[in-house]
């Protein structure tokens, strides 16, 4: 069922007002889809890129010049607050792009919203190219063309190189977000440390969950060399 149609966002917002709990697992078992159902960066946000399903994995759809940072992003129904855990299995094949400025990145997105020319969420990212890193970034809304629309909380470089089958996890407990690789903390930050800005409040209390991808450099063939599968979201 596609969510990219009139009325879908209204139903998602109604769910958000109720809040979400339990286990959520997006179904990746069906045929290839472009875009994958949800609220997508280009189809719904207009400024970014969509996410596609290929061979039961989610992948990016476009190369970014960055800036502007037009990641491939998708958000799903339900609203998760300040106690949520999200996990995914990293898919990694081929030769990683060599490093700065070229990069490849997978992202777990929490407490998000998206609409025409607006996207806001916490992005828990991991570099799966030749320059591995972990970071926590708040998208502050707006078009993503001004560096002030992003707030970085916890960039850590020199983290372990991602391997096919590694488990990426992001947790939010209160105002503290932590990114793990294979159960080991890679970076952590108190996201209440940044103040409010013209695009939104200091802390996103609730929002949708989803995934994203970023690639700078390389070719379109490299877009299918990294991805995410086995995605789960849990909340009390």
pLDDT at 15: 40
DSSP assignment string, 167-181 = EEEEEEETTEEEEEE
In a domain, 116, yes or no: yes
Confidence of residue 18 (pLDDT cuts 50, 70, 90): very low
> Does residue 12 lie in a domain region?
yes
Residue 233 lies in a domain: no
- Per-residue confidence (pLDDT) for residue 77, from 0 to 100: 77
pLDDT computed for residue 11 by the predictor: 43
Q: Across all residues in the chain, what is the average pLDDT?
A: 86
For residue 197, the model assigns a pLDDT of 58
pLDDT tens digits, one per residue of 147-191: 447 888 989 999 999 999 999 999 999 999 999 999 999 999 999
Q: Is 117 domain-assigned? A: yes
Q: What is the pLDDT of residue 198?
A: 53
Cα gap 119→163, rounded to integer Å: 30
**Where in the sequence is the domain holding 202, given as residue range(s)?**
8-131+139-155+170-226
Q: 162 lies in a domain?
A: no
* Residue 61 scores a pLDDT above 60: yes
DSSP tag of 27: -
* Residue at 16 is within a domain: yes
Backbone conformation region of residue 111, classed left if phi is above 0, alpha if psi is from -120 to 50, else beta = left
Place of tokens 């294979």: 182
Span 209-227, pLDDT tens digits: 999 999 999 999 999 999 9
Do the beta carbons of residue 88 and residue 168 sit within 8 Å?
yes
Q: Does residue 110 lie within any of the structural domains?
A: yes
pLDDT digits (tens, 9 = 90+) for 73-93: 999 977 788 899 999 999 999
Q: How many helices (H) and strands (E) does the chain have?
A: 1, 16
Residue 165 belongs to a domain: no
Digit-coded pLDDT (tens) for 101-131: 899 999 999 999 998 888 889 999 999 999 9
Closest by Cα among 169, 181, 176, 174 to 209? 169
pTM: 0.89
How many distinct structural domains can be found in the chain?
1
pLDDT value of residue 40: 97
């Amino acid at each position: 069922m596609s969510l990219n149609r009139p009325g879908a966002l209204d139903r998602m917002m109604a769910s958000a007002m109720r809040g979400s709990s339990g286990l959520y697992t997006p179904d990746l078992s069906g045929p290839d889809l472009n875009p994958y159902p949800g609220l997508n960066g280009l189809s719904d946000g207009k400024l970014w890129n969509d996410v596609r399903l290929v061979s039961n994995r989610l992948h990016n759809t476009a190369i970014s010049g960055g800036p502007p940072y037009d990641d491939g992003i998708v958000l799903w129904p339900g609203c998760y607050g300040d106690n949520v855990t999200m996990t995914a299995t990293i898919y990694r094949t081929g030769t990683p792009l060599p490093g700065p400025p070229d990069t490849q990145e997978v992202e777990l997105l929490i407490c998000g919203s998206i609409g025409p020319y607006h996207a806001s969420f916490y992005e828990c990212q991991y570099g799966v190219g030749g320059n591995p890193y972990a970071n926590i970034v708040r998208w502050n809304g707006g078009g993503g063309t001004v560096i002030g629309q992003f707030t970085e909380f916890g960039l850590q470089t020199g983290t372990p190189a991602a391997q096919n089958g590694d488990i990426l996890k992001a947790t939010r407990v209160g105002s503290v977000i932590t990114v793990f690789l294979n159960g080991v903390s890679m970076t952590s930050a108190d996201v209440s440390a940044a103040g409010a800005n013209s695009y939104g409040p200091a802390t996103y209390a609730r929002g949708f969950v989803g995934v994203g991808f970023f690639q700078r450099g390389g070719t379109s063939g490299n877009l299918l060399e990294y991805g995410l599968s086995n995605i789960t979201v849990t909340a009390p």
